[in-house]
């Protein structure tokens, strides 16, 4: 079978105005480079979970042994369960794709780059809620952010991993 690879893509990187402030983070060079060989499928965990556009900005907090998404300005706003439920609804889609390209540092999309606030005031880095879901349930799925893929060597390596997975058949892992 020789189908075009499919990549899930943070919608804001594709230029869609889905960010909390109603803006986007279009990455035209990356979109062009990956769009040459793959179908790019937009998704936005926060808009998808119904948080709205625009919406209150959120951040991740370590709380009672779990990671919670809370409002930056309103700590009482906690959409964690809604975003988790949306992530679970993407399972069938995730099983059909060959990789994910996600926005760095986002509390939903960041791959090991989302700030995590601890009760003692420390700040560490972790996966955003969607990236964590992908890593937990599809650990072999190639995943990278737009900052990593600015490096031509990393971009070429990611492309090879995606093509390899596509040759083996999506959802193999
Ligand atoms: S949740 Fe992800 S796709 Fe949506 S705006 Fe934030 S970084 Fe972009």
**Cα–ligand 1 centroid distance for 80 (angstroms):** 15
Instruction: Convert the pLDDT of each residue in 102-143 to its tens digit.
Output: 999 999 999 999 999 999 999 999 999 999 999 999 999 999
pLDDT of residue 38: 98
pTM of the model: 0.96
Helix axes 152-168, 28-35, angle to 10 degrees: 40
Asked whether residue 6 carries a pLDDT value surpassing 70, the answer given is yes
pLDDT of residue 45: 98
Instruction: Please say whether the beta carbons of 19 and 107 come within 8 A.
Output: no
Which amino acid residue places its CA nearest to atom 8 of ligand 1?
12
**Cα–ligand 1 centroid distance for 163 (angstroms):** 25
Asked whether residue 2 carries a pLDDT value surpassing 70, the answer given is no
Mean pLDDT of 34-48: 98
Q: Which of 8, 31, 45, 90 to mutate to test the pocket of ligand 1 (most atoms within 8 A of CB)?
A: 45
**Cα–ligand 1 centroid distance for 69 (angstroms):** 14
Residue that has been written with the tokens 């990956």 in this structure? 34
Instruction: Please say whether the beta carbons of 94 and 8 come within 8 A.
Output: yes
Mean pLDDT of 11-29: 98
Instruction: Using only the alpha carbons of the chain, give its radius of gyration.
Output: 16
Asked whether residue 172 carries a pLDDT value surpassing 90, the answer given is no
Q: Which of 7, 8, 9, 10 to mutate to test the pocket of ligand 1 (most atoms within 8 A of CB)?
A: 10
**Cα–ligand 1 centroid distance for 58 (angstroms):** 11
Asked whether residue 1 carries a pLDDT value surpassing 70, the answer given is no
Instruction: Convert the pLDDT of each residue in 62-107 to its tens digit.
Output: 999 999 999 999 989 999 999 999 999 999 999 999 999 999 999 9
**Cα–ligand 1 centroid distance for 70 (angstroms):** 15
In sequence order, which residues have a C-beta less than 8 Å from that of residue 156 and are 6 or more positions away? none
Instruction: Convert the pLDDT of each residue in 151-161 to its tens digit.
Output: 999 999 999 99
pLDDT of residue 10: 98
Strands 99-102 and 6-10: parallel
Peptide bond before 114: cis, by omega within 30 degrees of 0?
no
SS3 142: coil
Mean pLDDT of 41-57: 98
Ligand 1 pocket: which residues have CB below 6 Å?
A: 10-12, 18-19, 44-47, 103, 106, 108-109
DSSP string, 46-101: HHHTT--SS---EEEEEETTEEEEEESS-TT---HHHHHHHHHHTHHHHTT-SEEE
SS3 34: helix
Backbone angles phi, psi at 152, to 5 degrees: -60, -30
Asked whether residue 170 carries a pLDDT value surpassing 90, the answer given is no
pLDDT of residue 173: 44
């Amino acid at each position: 079978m020789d189908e075009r690879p499919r990549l899930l893509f943070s919608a804001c990187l594709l230029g869609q105005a889905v960010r909390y402030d109603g803006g986007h983070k279009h990455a035209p060079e990356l979109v062009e480079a990956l769009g040459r060989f793959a179908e790019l499928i937009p998704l936005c965990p926060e808009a998808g979970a119904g948080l709205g556009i625009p919406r209150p900005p959120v951040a991740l907090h370590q709380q009672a042994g779990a990671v919670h998404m809370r409002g930056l300005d309103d700590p009482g706003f906690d959409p964690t369960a809604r975003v988790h439920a949306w992530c679970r609804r993407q399972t069938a889609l995730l099983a059909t794709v060959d990789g994910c390209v996600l926005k760095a540092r986002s509390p939903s999309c960041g791959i090991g780059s989302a700030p995590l606030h601890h009760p003692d005031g420390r700040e560490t880095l972790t996966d955003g809620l969607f990236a964590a879901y992908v890593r937990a349930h599809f650990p072999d799925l190639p995943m990278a952010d737009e900052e990593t893929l600015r490096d031509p060597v990393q971009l070429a390596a990611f492309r090879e991993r995606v093509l390899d997975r596509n040759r083996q058949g999506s959802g193999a892992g």
